[in-house]
Structure 1
Amino acid sequence: MIEQPSATRGRPRDTKTHGAILRAAFTVLECEGYAAATIERIAAEAGVAKQTIYRWWKGKAPLFMEVLAHKAGQAIELPDSGSFKGDLTLLLTGTFAAVSTTLRPLMRALAAELLQDDDFAETVRDVFVRRRRANVRSLVEKAIGRGELPVETDPELICDIVFGTMWYRLMFDHSPLDKAAAEQLAAAANAAAVYATK
């Protein structure tokens, strides 16, 4: 299972309360959307004082960042199909399915937030971006170990190809993120891995 974010602020979190807050935030997100969601509304939904939320998160954006990371972690498993292209196709199919639901507008909203807040941008890199890149990097390294990809393959370039495409489509919505897109992108990344080392 993909690694989940850990507590990074304030006193140790009570697991039950922490889970209740994440569930409440997601419920509010589904009902009202990110822009209308407030800490007060989430606290009421979770049955906790808003001070409890502020002890663990600086505000709405970091809280929803953890909601996103949690939901993404639940939805996506690291595959083992026996080939890099197959593994990447499965990983991207699961990722695209997850971000094409309630998470899509949330990811757009959080992307807008990080452009205005350097501290939050670092949180996004720590909690979400680096962990997603680590998953793709792991698939590349496994393929190199099998002799399927050249040892000179640059995992960071493959990550850029994969996630650059995903975020471009998420932000501009000019083309779908679906199973066909996952298959095409996996094939392109596989070809790039081979071509870039020639």
Structure 2
Amino acid sequence: MTKTKAGRPRSEKAKQAVLSATYELLNEDSDKKLTIEAIAKKAGVGKPTIYRWWPSLADIVLEAVLTQADSKIPVPHYESLQTTLGQFLRRSMKSINEGDGENLRYLMALAQNDDSFRTRFKDNFVSKRQETLKSILQQAVDSNEISPTQDLDILVDVVFGAMWYRLLIGHGKMDESFAVELTETVIRLGK
């Protein structure tokens, strides 16, 4: 017999309200003075409801950003490396420029101050995005567009390394032309 937790059961509707409220507040508050209280008020739930789902504010933000990334940057149907990778990277740049870049910097800052959250950020966001890109690259290997001897993890690091470097330092644009340049770089390196 399993024990049940005291209190009300988790509500999927409340969870979605919290994630939506969090994402809206992230995009409204450029100073990122986000609080559990503000999220609860906007979502129309109590703080205990939030703590039933997430251990910390950082975890709520992580799930809200990941949910948006999944909807804004879906895995495209594979056509060719040039087309598929280009589409994936253009969507990524568009999302970054529509406010998600600031949200990613915010998450990265939170991860620098909390080792356990850094692990959750890596396991739940970074690894998921890496797997998505690696699946595109593997399809390119399968269609003989990338050499089977090419280390796909290195290509993933090249792409995301360039993106994170520009995102965190801000020394270069993250736009459609950057997406095209990154795509061409992967094609050249993959041979």
* Superposed pair shares fold, TM > 0.5: yes
Partner of 2:129: 132
Q: Is the 8 A contact 1:34 1:106 kept in 2?
A: no
Which AA in structure 2 matches 1:115?
Answer: Q
Q: Does 1:38 align with 2:46?
A: no
Q: Does 1:182 align with 2:179?
A: yes
Which AA in structure 1 matches 2:156?
Answer: C
So what's the TM-score if we normalise by structure 2?
A: 0.91
State the Cα distance separating 1:126 from its structure 2 match.
Answer: 1.5
Partner of 1:91: 88
Match of 2:103 among 106, 113, 125: 106
Q: Is the 8 A contact 2:90 2:179 kept in 1?
A: yes
- CA RMSD in angstroms comes to 1.5
Aligned length, in residue pairs: 184
- Return the alpha-carbon distance in structure 2 between the equivalents of residues 179 and 190 of structure 1: 17
Q: Does 1:28 align with 2:25?
A: yes
Task: State, as a whole percentage, how many aligned pairs show the same letter.
Answer: 32
Q: Does 1:68 align with 2:84?
A: no
Show CA shifts across 1:84-140 (max 9, x none): 122111100001111112211111111111111111011111211111111111111
Could you list the runs of 4 or more consecutive aligned residues of structure 1 that deviate by over 3 angstroms after TM superposition? none
Note the residue ranges of structure 2 that are not aligned, 5 or more in a row: 1-7
- Match of 2:159, SS state, is helix
Partner of 1:53: 50
Partner of 1:193: 190
Q: Which moved more, 1:48-57 or 1:81-90?
A: 81-90
- Return the alpha-carbon distance in structure 1 between the equivalents of residues 70 and 130 of structure 2: 13
So what's the TM-score if we normalise by structure 1?
A: 0.88
Q: Is the 8 A contact 2:78 2:136 kept in 1?
A: no
State the Cα distance separating 1:68 from its structure 2 match.
Answer: 0.7
Q: Which moved more, 1:76-85 or 1:157-166?
A: 76-85
Note the residue ranges of structure 1 that are not aligned, 5 or more in a row: 1-10
- Return the alpha-carbon distance in structure 2 between the equivalents of residues 143 and 190 of structure 1: 10
State the Cα distance separating 1:54 from its structure 2 match.
Answer: 1.5
Which AA in structure 2 matches 1:120?
Answer: F
- Return the alpha-carbon distance in structure 1 between the equivalents of residues 53 and 147 of structure 2: 44
Distance 1:164 1:136, change over 3 A: same
Distance 1:128 1:182, change over 3 A: same
Partner of 1:6: none
